[in-house]
Amino acid sequence: MDTLIEVSDVSKRYDSAGTFAVEGVSLDVARGEAVAVMGPSGSGKSTLLNLIAGLDRPTEGTVTVAGQRIDSLNETSLAKYRRQRVGIIFQFFNLLDDLTVADNVMLPAQLAGAPRAKARRRTDDLLERLRIGEHRQAYPARLSGGERQRVAIARALVNSPELLLADEPTGALDTTTGEEIGELLRELNRAGQSMIMVTHNPDLAFRYAQRTIQIVDGKLAGDTTDGRHVARAGAGARP
Amino acid sequence: MSVRPVLRAASGGVTRHRAQTVVIFLVLLVSTASATLGLALLATANGPFDSAFARQHGADAAVLVNSANASNAQMAATRRAGGVRAAAGPFGATTVTLNSQGFSMPSSLVVGRASPGGAIDDLSLATGHWPRSPDQIVLSEGLGFYPGLGAKMTVTTAPGKPQLTVVGMANSITNTAGAWVLPGEISKLRSAGAPTQAQMLYTFGSASTAAQIRGDVTAVSSALPAGAVSGFSSWLVAKQQDTTNSAILAPFVEAFALIGVFMSVLIVANVVSGAVVASYRRIGVLKSIGFSPAQVVVSYTARVGVPAVAGCLVGLVAGNVLAVPVLKKSAESFGVGSQLVPLWVDVVTPVVLCALVAMTALLPALRAGRLSAVQAIALGHAPRTGRGYAVHRLASRLRLPRPVSIGLAAPFARPARTAGTLAAIMFGVTAVVFAVGLNTTLARAEAGQSLAATAPVQVGLGTGHAMAPGGRADRALVAVLRAQPGTRRYVASAFTGLSVAGLTQQVQAQATKGNSAWLGYDIISGRWYNGPDQVVVNTSYLNQTGLTVGDNTTISAGGKSVTAKIVGQVFNPGNQPALMADWQTVAAVEPSLGVAQYEVGLSPGVSTNEYVRGLGRGLGTKYWVSGPQSGQFYLIADSLIAMLTLMMAVVAGLGVLNTVLLGTRDRVHDLGVFKAVGMTPRQVIAMVMCWIVAPAIVAAAIAIPVAAVLHSSTTTAMANAAYTAVPASFQNVYRPAEIVLLALSGLAIAAAGALLPAMWAARSRTATALRAE
């Protein structure tokens, strides 16, 4: 297996006296894999995603992505990691209201120092592929939820990251739009895009991910592959 | 109304938003300190002489009596003379020349007094103590000579040249003496053959005009044997000098006070109202859990009130502490002993600033109190959509790094707040540009008056008497001057009083022997004289005679007259008319004109202090030698300008800090998004710093012409107060390259203010920021 992500005995707590948001989690994700992370509210799904995205640091353990230890990177290196290796999609899109759709999508490329013309070509290409090319000069507030999430996906993909991380990507969308976005993510995965998706929705996980990880109370509680639930004895297990 | 939840909400706000609490505290601290200092200066500059005169029981007249002609009893009996309200004395007195380490001072009156206190002329001891033994002396600060406590002074004119130790520095409000010793010492200090003298101090029933004082002194003279009174000095002369000093100082202190007050009001209002507006969301939450409008108002007024009141109190202390050295210098400059921050300033300043805080906090708090919970929460969110979008679109087309172009466009999302930032920077830049201009003007004025750049050394006969031109003393002095290494050139000066057609009072005239154009007096109009029958005069001369440059003026003395052409107007402040001319012109009416001193120019690279010491050694104690002396007025003005400018720049920087801080709080979620998509901490700092670039540039563009106008009008007002016009070189102080550099001060103030919040923004945790709303 060509391992892309290696999470090793990772724990996270937000204050020294508090409980663990994530505790002793270990898992590997292969390149090209689509993994759904499921669990009840407050179980630590988004925290785990944030640790892999380099948005937060583990209290204990190590996180390695594409051979790079990211838990020990400084803020500047983490920013470079986020812009080069991962694309992040959020439940509430997190688009910048005062930038146009095209400017939102181009932003990570520009931050990475891509030439203007190249960034624009890549943006136009993505917007066309995601069927929102006609909105390139519109502002996010004028778009529907599905359109905004497509813009967010385009932004996440603009630097061609090895890993796409999605935190409840359909959570703020109606069922039909949610399915559209799900299909879009599956297409991306079929094209070779590695992906981790946090979701509440078992149907979404079943239909669009090859593997589902269960997190309960911050601990790894299970792992299913191709719909088959694989029970785990405890935290720290690897698939 | 239940108080407990209100207090909990207020204290929660104070501790939860520590940065904002600190900003409010600091803004109020600096504003209060600068307002206290400014008001104290204004208050004391508007009448230091009168208050000090009353406090020190100033003498209306100090009369010098030849004690060979009048007994002590006769002198004491003059307290019953007509017009006399009170008298002190007689105090033994004599005129001496003091020398310290080769430096001789012009002759000074030394008076014997047992103590500094008294019903009249209650001396203010600035440092040290009153003489306790025969070999001790206290110098007057009015001499402008500070050898330091413990310094040895040789009385070169006294038999045996006794040495005295300086044990104190004191102030007489009316400059009744140059130094004081114990009464028994005067006889030892009297030079051989000098008359025995005594000083009587008087206050009169009527002493508000020179004529009244002349009449009063005549009454005193009549009560003594004929010829006993050998001279007197009037309090009006001292008041004249002081009033001129304070009047010159007042315009720029007022200008700074004006800028400071406007800026403090603006920034305090901006900071405090911004703090409340930024809390609208929290106010909405409090209302939704049951806070009444009154509880909301009290809670938020208290929240900003706690750090504001604390800042006011600490600022008041800081203002008083800062005012001590400035007022001390001011007092020294005016010769008025000591000055304190007036009580009303200590009361009014914090009360007004606290009222301002209450008002600026109350208005948005009242508005928030009236809003529904949902409205308050909605208003507490980030800027309304639509503002500044066009600017963002334009900025994205600029060929600039993306964090820079996003940062440049950001201020347009909050126009009102940006206007506040712009105004804060504008006031700060105005203060800096104005201060730099004023400093240059004052430096040029000081150089023009002291001739420090051209003729830094003066030398004359130790007794203070003039030398006959070509006489033995003169020849000896010139021979030493010529032999002294470092002497480049010199010119003899004489001073005499002349009558001028059209003026009732005598005019102080300075005559120079030989080419004196190199002395470099600042010319306001016309040119320097280059031969006989030409004169240059000061502005008071022209104003009082009604003449202009190019007119003829007739000067006379001892029944002789000469008509000369006024060829120039020189910078020579004061309301006493003054005239300068070639030796031949003045000698035509005053044939006995003697050399009072030589003005000496030095070769390039020669140390003035070493030259003065060397010349002093060469000449011996018979002559006095003086180096350049910085005028106390200019010293105090310089330090005041520096202090006030620094304070205003700090307040402006705090204003920027507050705005950027509020901006980072408003946009915390966006900052999280920027970081999530790969913006590095350095790029975040660059972006946030760029928020203030456009306001800083616009502020500088407004501030520079405003400061130039303020500088021009202030220097004109100062010059008017000093009864003079000013040379164009004093007004034209801003060169294009300097203007560009000064404009950058706006960016510097803004950058200094924005740096901390930018760093905080860069350090914030991305995941936390993304969760924030």
Complete DSSP assignment for B339-357: ----HHHHHHHHHHHHHHH
pLDDT averaged over chain B? 83
User: Considering Cα of A149, then A155, then A159, then A164, what sign does the dihedral take?
Assistant: negative
Beta strands in chain A (DSSP E): 3-12, 22-30, 34-38, 60-65, 68-69, 86-89, 163-167, 194-198, 211-216, 219-225, 228-231
**pTM, full prediction:** 0.72
CA dist B80 and B75 (Å) reads 10
CA dist B455 and B39 (Å) reads 39
Closest Cα to residue B60, out of B224, B249, B201, B211? B201
Query: What is the per-residue pLDDT for A238?
Result: 38
A117: left (phi over 0), alpha (psi -120 to 50) or beta: alpha
Angle between helices B632-666 and B18-45 (to 10 degrees): 160
B525 pLDDT tier (thresholds 50, 70, 90): very high
Query: What is the per-residue pLDDT for B208?
Result: 79
- Provide residues of B within 8 Å CB-CB of chain A: 382, 385, 388-389, 392-393, 396, 399, 401-403, 406, 409, 413, 669-670, 672-683, 762-763, 765-767, 770
CB contact under 8 A, A56 and B409: no
Report whether pLDDT(B13) > 80. Answer: no
* CB proximity list for B432: less than 8 A, separation 6 or greater: B645, B648, B649, B707, B742, B745, B749
CB contact under 8 A, B676 and A55: yes
CA dist B170 and B653 (Å) reads 42
Query: What is the per-residue pLDDT for B244?
Result: 61
Q: Which residue has the tokens 């400093």?
A: B439
Instruction: Tell whether A139 lies on the interface with B, counting CB pairs under 8 A.
Output: yes
Report whether pLDDT(B595) > 50. Answer: yes
CB contact under 8 A, A79 and B681: yes
Report whether pLDDT(B60) > 50. Answer: yes
Question: pLDDT > 70: what percent of chain B?
Answer: 89
Structure tokens at A209: 């991910």
Higher pLDDT residue, B407 or B631?
Answer: B407
Provide mean pLDDT across the span B688-713. Answer: 92
Instruction: Tell whether A75 lies on the interface with B, counting CB pairs under 8 A.
Output: yes
Q: Which residue has the tokens 């006993």?
A: B228
| 186-215 of A, contacting B, C-beta below 8 A | none
Query: What is the per-residue pLDDT for B369?
Result: 76
CA dist B463 and B466 (Å) reads 9
What ipTM was assigned to the predicted interfaces of this complex? Answer: 0.88
Provide mean pLDDT across the span B327-331. Answer: 67
Among the ranges given (A86-90, B240-244, B448-452, B513-517), the one the predictor scored with the smallest mean pLDDT: B240-244
Q: Cis peptide leading into B90, omega within 30 of 0? A: yes
Q: Burial letters for B344-356: b for 16+ Cβ neighbours within 10 Å, e otherwise?
A: ebbeebbebbbeb
Among the ranges given (A107-111, B65-69, B222-226, B380-384), the one the predictor scored with the smallest mean pLDDT: B380-384
Say which of B401, B403, B770 has its CB closest to residue A94: B770
CA torsion angle B187 B190 B194 B195 (round to 10) = -30
CB pairs under 8 A between A and B: 80
Cβ–Cβ under 8 Å, residues B729 and B447:
no
pLDDT in tens, B528-555: 999 889 999 999 889 888 899 999 999 8
**Domain ranges for chain B:** 1-55+239-381, 61-206, 386-452+631-773, 453-627
Instruction: Tell whether A138 lies on the interface with B, counting CB pairs under 8 A.
Output: no
Say which of A108, A116, A139 has its CB closest to residue B677: A108
Residue of B nearest to A113 (CA): B401
Question: Strand A194-198 and strand A34-38: pairing?
Answer: parallel
CA dist A195 and B515 (Å) reads 93
User: Considering Cα of B301, then B306, then B307, then B311, what sign does the dihedral take?
Assistant: positive
Query: What is the per-residue pLDDT for B375?
Result: 74
Closest Cα to residue A110, out of B400, B758, B395, B693? B400
B102 pLDDT tier (thresholds 50, 70, 90): low
Question: Strand B552-557 and strand B560-570: pairing?
Answer: antiparallel
Which of B677, B679, B685, B691 to probe the A interface (max A CBs under 10 A)? B677
pLDDT in tens, B486-519: 999 999 999 888 888 777 667 888 999 988 889 8
* CB proximity list for B16: less than 8 A, separation 6 or greater: none
CA dist B244 and B49 (Å) reads 11
CA dist A22 and B670 (Å) reads 26
* CB proximity list for B407: less than 8 A, separation 6 or greater: B686, B687, B688, B689, B690, B691, B693
3-state secondary structure of B487: strand
CA dist A81 and A112 (Å) reads 10
